[in-house]
Structure 1
Amino acid sequence: MEGTRDQGTRVGRRGWAALVVLMLPVLLVSVDNTVLSFALPAIGRDLEPTSAQQLWIVDVYPLVLAGLLVTMGTMGDRFGRRRMLLIGATGFAAVSALAAFAPTAEALIVARAVMGVFGAMLMPSTLSLLRGIFVDRDQRRLAVAVWASMFSAGAALGPIVGGVLLEHFGWGSVFLLAVPVLIPLLLLAPFVVPESRDPKPGRIDPTSIALSMATMVPIVFAVKELAVHGVAGATWAFLAIGIGFGAVFVRRQLRMPVPMLDMRLFRDGTFTGALLVNLLSVVGLVGFLFFVAQHLQLILGLSPLDAGLALVPGLAAMIVSGLLVVPVGRRVAPRVLVPAALAFSALGYVIVGLSGSDASPTTLIVAFVALGIGIGAAETVSNELILAGAPPAKAGAASAVSETAYELGAVFGTAVLGGAVTALYRVRLDLPAPLPSAASAAARETLAGAMQEADRLGGALGGALRDAAASAFGAGVGVTAVIGAALVVVAAVIAAATLGGSRAPSRIER
């Protein structure tokens, strides 16, 4: 209730040491979401994936992760959250090492899927363990704030770390990064992180687990097929299958005495609205990074390190705006604050859309700073409202739903915006003649393939292919920027309509 205070024991150095240890998997997952975008050109040159495979390399991990977050949270409640954290860290590090040496695009996709399984064990455990460690409300609020800030910090570090690694090593190094990050967790967690579990956990329901995956996989697959191959009967069939299983899943949860996911959480308009704002904000961020990372490296010719550094100002703006929005939010209602912040993000997309293939590094930096200001503020407020909108007994489920929205946003950001760029690139590409059939096929698949063939051909023909590919990609980005701006505007409208007049910082203290 508003105004009450938890009278809990304040933790000492061991509790704060546990916080540091629990930051490692959060930081790693956040870095992974941005660093892979910078490795895609190198992966494209080495493994030569098709356009669909390139999207699956990015999307299969967050898809599996999102599908299993609630499930793994339930298993952690029953079997022990620290135990689940350690199992997840061990598996994630081992499979990441295997992914680093994947010989084919198919092998890399499989490795990324298995990483998603173990990643789903990591994320719900970290927040639920923190809530058990920090009993005092003030300390817990600070710990949760630091936990949340690791997502932005990881996003800021991702381009720099990725740039340094790709400047000196192969693309596999971005996956090997997981090993040195998770080893300290495996060594220290048994000593500084206490075990915790729900004394009265709900039963594990295999049917609900299967239904949740049967809902998400067909829907995301349909979105991918729509983006890459256009409207087809199979696309709508998969979409219908996913929606059908989703309806069955919801019906089952409503009938269960102890559901895997309490659907009553979504009856709160503020909770649902904040969740949608969270999801759409991540769609806008990940979709932007998907094509800007390629533009910087493949069209402007920047090295991975320089491309990473070019995005640092925008990611720093995201962190700063996320911190500054807290005191501002004490005076300005979320229904006003979030739309105002998202106006900056829409502006960032407009800048990119007007520039097209002629966008300079400076233009892209300015655009990403504008995008980062809006996304950072919107994500902070929406996450606070998601936690505040749920009763204390359902805080774990609320955090799992929030993380699921984040990962789904990453999937749809790549599938919708990344898929749109790919599809429009292929439609707008006007290949120069005479071009060998193999080179023509590679150029039509991906921008990386076109640039690789241009380098092989060299001379006037290679230059003509490079110009044609850059022009087609720029045209695709221009149209996709309009889509991105429209999604941000939709998020702003949802925020204005659903978030009400409550101040985010006060509601989260409830």
Structure 2
Amino acid sequence: MSRTTHILDSSTVVPRAGVREWFALAVLMLPVLLVSVDNTVLNFALPQISETLRPSGTGLLWIVDIYPLVLAGLLVSMGSLGDHIGRRKLLLIGSVGFASVSIFAAFAPSAEALIGARAALGFFGAMLMPSTLSLLRSIFLDRDQRRMAIAVWASGFAAGSALGPIVGGLLLQNLWWGSVFLLAVPVLIPLVILAPLLVPESKDPHPGRIDVPSILLSLFTMLPIVFGIKSIAEKGADPLGIVAIVVGLVAGFLFVRRQRRVETPMLDMTLFTRGSFSGAVGVNLLSVTAFVGGLFFVTQHLQLVLGLAPLQAGLTLLPGLVAMIIAGLVIVPIAKRVRPSIVIPVALVISAAGYSAVALSGGNIQAAGLAFAFIALGVGIGAAETVSNELIIASAPVEKAGAASAVSETAYELGAVLGTAILGTILTASYRANVVLPSGLSEAQRMAAGETLGGAVSVAGQVPADAAAALLDSARHAFDSGVGVAAWIGVALIVAAGVVAATSLRRVR
């Protein structure tokens, strides 16, 4: 038999997972690894993309942001769709689509084409992540086993982030930047073959009709709000950004009102009245915003300021990502005995200490210092994310696991957007304000060098040695002038996540 049973009391028998279920977990780790590798590799590929496609500073941010933006808008809808048609079926559809679009992205001829491909990847990616997490809820019914499975699932993000710099570094040193997107193909082919054999289908037995108005309202909630935040972060009190946020808030109000009135809501709003659910979602949002924003500027600092090759930069961050994996696993037995309102804040204090080291350096930090800071950041966030994700899944009924998982993933992807938009925009604005361009540059060279550090590095290879040295020195100092401010914002975000955990989870055992 693949399952044994664990008797909680005389009337409750909970099936325990057997060998097949743990193999199913291994299969479900493939898309998790892929998405995390993709995110990390893209950050390391940004310098080459900047030099080859010559995007503007805003265009470079859109290359990073469009993928999580589309994901954030579609995750709740896709999570609910998985509850209706089957989570495994949705996972397989998303896998085939993601692999196909990845091939196009690898050969994108322009920044605009790459942005379009990243948007399509976001569409299919929205089918992957809620499906994997919600399937764990139905496969691992025993809570201790489920906590360990989710720890492995969460560690998969860190493992992918650890593999990304190594694999990506090797690819980027030997091939063109587009090769990083081709990683999706060999990862997803085994998933498509093995998932039907090992992963049981799971869906809501009484899903009701697909609620098209709710799907549209969820889209018109997330997309305008995220777009508006990006626009305001880049341009200040921009009227377009303000209008977009207002449109999103109105759509969100109508979405919530509809969920409370329909017989079978797409998202059960009563979940948010539970501190274990809403508090854990808040922890995810804030901590991921800090982590992804930090990764955005750390990868560029290592390569473009300190001059490390992509593989060297990846190896510098590898200890911190390994520490994240270990912390996610070690926290499991601790979380069984210590309240989450204590475990999560204590873990995040470690992360805040790492971020503070970067902030206190004011951007003037060497590779060894960044490596130690990233270890501290990884330990805290790795532990906190494991506990918070398990709370989110445990708080929802099994038949609504897809929608609940989608909320967790929406917080993650929204945090990724905010991290890049807020911290990335601070760096871009500081760079533009402080870079000093030498005379003798053409208009196109001035535009490229004045927008991004990667553009300045590219232009430096086209001008005389004296002008190149002056440009690089100015560009690197201009970039680092914003690192200190961005790092302090990262510290504030992590502290806020700890406060949310300490207050909202205080009654959760």
The aligned residue for residue 411 of structure 2 is 405
The aligned residue for residue 351 of structure 1 is 357
Does the 8 A contact of 1:57 with 1:109 survive in 2?
yes
**Residue 177 (structure 2) pairs with residue 177 (structure 1):** no
The aligned residue for residue 208 of structure 2 is 202
**1:184-238 deviation digits (Å, cap 9, x = unpaired):** 1112222233333322113211111111111111111122222222222222122
Find the partner of 1:326 among 329, 332, 340.
332
The aligned residue for residue 299 of structure 1 is 305
The aligned residue for residue 483 of structure 1 is 489
457-466 or 125-134, which deviates more: 125-134
Find the partner of 1:239 among 242, 245, 248.
245
Instruction: Compute the displacement of 1:116 (Å).
Output: 1.1
How has the CA–CA distance of structure 1 residues 9 and 330 changed in structure 2, closer, same or farther, with 3 Å as cutoff? Answer: closer
The aligned residue for residue 74 of structure 1 is 80
The aligned residue for residue 396 of structure 1 is 402
Does the 8 A contact of 1:229 with 1:423 survive in 2?
no
Instruction: Compute the displacement of 1:369 (Å).
Output: 1.1
**2-structure distance, mates of 1:250, 1:454:** 53
**Residue 55 (structure 2) pairs with residue 49 (structure 1):** yes
The aligned residue for residue 223 of structure 1 is 229
**1-structure distance, mates of 2:314, 2:163:** 9
Instruction: Compute the displacement of 1:5 (Å).
Output: 8.6
The aligned residue for residue 97 of structure 1 is 103
Does the 8 A contact of 1:6 with 1:136 survive in 2?
no
**2-structure distance, mates of 1:310, 1:119:** 28
The aligned residue for residue 506 of structure 1 is none
Find the partner of 1:457 among 463, 473, 490.
463
**Residue 296 (structure 2) pairs with residue 285 (structure 1):** no
**Residue 23 (structure 2) pairs with residue 23 (structure 1):** no
Instruction: Compute the displacement of 1:66 (Å).
Output: 2.2
Counterpart amino acid of 2:74?
A: L
How has the CA–CA distance of structure 1 residues 273 and 322 changed in structure 2, closer, same or farther, with 3 Å as cutoff? Answer: same
**1:238-282 deviation digits (Å, cap 9, x = unpaired):** 221211211111111111111111111111123211111111111
How has the CA–CA distance of structure 1 residues 143 and 500 changed in structure 2, closer, same or farther, with 3 Å as cutoff? Answer: same
User: Residue 178 of structure 1 aligns to a residue in which SS?
Assistant: helix
Counterpart amino acid of 2:296?
A: F
The aligned residue for residue 65 of structure 1 is 71
Does the 8 A contact of 2:154 with 2:385 survive in 1?
no
User: Residue 371 of structure 2 aligns to a residue in which SS?
Assistant: helix
Instruction: Compute the displacement of 1:303 (Å).
Output: 0.6
**Residue 429 (structure 2) pairs with residue 423 (structure 1):** yes
Instruction: Compute the displacement of 1:99 (Å).
Output: 0.5
Does the 8 A contact of 2:151 with 2:328 survive in 1?
no
**2-structure distance, mates of 1:300, 1:212:** 43
Find the partner of 2:122 among 109, 116, 121.
116
Does the 8 A contact of 1:156 with 1:312 survive in 2?
yes
Counterpart amino acid of 2:71?
A: L
How has the CA–CA distance of structure 1 residues 414 and 2 changed in structure 2, closer, same or farther, with 3 Å as cutoff? Answer: farther
Q: Which runs of 5+ in 1 are unaligned?
A: 504-510
Instruction: Compute the displacement of 1:440 (Å).
Output: 1.8
**Residue 182 (structure 2) pairs with residue 186 (structure 1):** no
Instruction: Compute the displacement of 1:357 (Å).
Output: 4.1
**Residue 110 (structure 2) pairs with residue 107 (structure 1):** no
**1-structure distance, mates of 2:353, 2:62:** 29
175-184 or 494-503, which deviates more: 494-503
How has the CA–CA distance of structure 1 residues 130 and 343 changed in structure 2, closer, same or farther, with 3 Å as cutoff? Answer: closer
Instruction: Compute the displacement of 1:390 (Å).
Output: 3.1
Does the 8 A contact of 1:265 with 1:390 survive in 2?
yes
User: TM-score, normalised to structure 1's length?
Assistant: 0.93
**2-structure distance, mates of 1:13, 1:341:** 32
**Residue 13 (structure 2) pairs with residue 7 (structure 1):** yes
Instruction: Compute the displacement of 1:389 (Å).
Output: 3.1
Does the 8 A contact of 1:7 with 1:137 survive in 2?
no
The aligned residue for residue 156 of structure 1 is 162
Does the 8 A contact of 1:73 with 1:125 survive in 2?
yes
**2-structure distance, mates of 1:393, 1:194:** 14
**1:417-458 deviation digits (Å, cap 9, x = unpaired):** 111111121122233345433322111211100111122214
User: Residue 301 of structure 1 aligns to a residue in which SS?
Assistant: coil
The aligned residue for residue 444 of structure 1 is 450
Counterpart amino acid of 1:372?
A: G
**Residue 498 (structure 2) pairs with residue 492 (structure 1):** yes
Instruction: Compute the displacement of 1:337 (Å).
Output: 2.5
How has the CA–CA distance of structure 1 residues 399 and 373 changed in structure 2, closer, same or farther, with 3 Å as cutoff? Answer: same
**2-structure distance, mates of 1:460, 1:354:** 32
Does the 8 A contact of 1:214 with 1:245 survive in 2?
yes
Give the number of equivalent residue pairs: 503
99-108 or 1-10, which deviates more: 1-10
**2-structure distance, mates of 1:418, 1:69:** 24
The aligned residue for residue 272 of structure 2 is 266
How has the CA–CA distance of structure 1 residues 6 and 70 changed in structure 2, closer, same or farther, with 3 Å as cutoff? Answer: farther
User: TM-score, normalised to structure 2's length?
Assistant: 0.93
User: Residue 438 of structure 2 aligns to a residue in which SS?
Assistant: coil
Q: Which runs of 5+ in 2 are unaligned?
A: 1-6
Query: How big is the alpha-carbon RMSD for the aligned residues of Structure 1 and Structure 2?
Result: 2.1
**1:287-339 deviation digits (Å, cap 9, x = unpaired):** 00000000111111111100011001111111122222223334433223322
Aligned-residue sequence identity (percent) comes to 61
User: Residue 481 of structure 2 aligns to a residue in which SS?
Assistant: helix
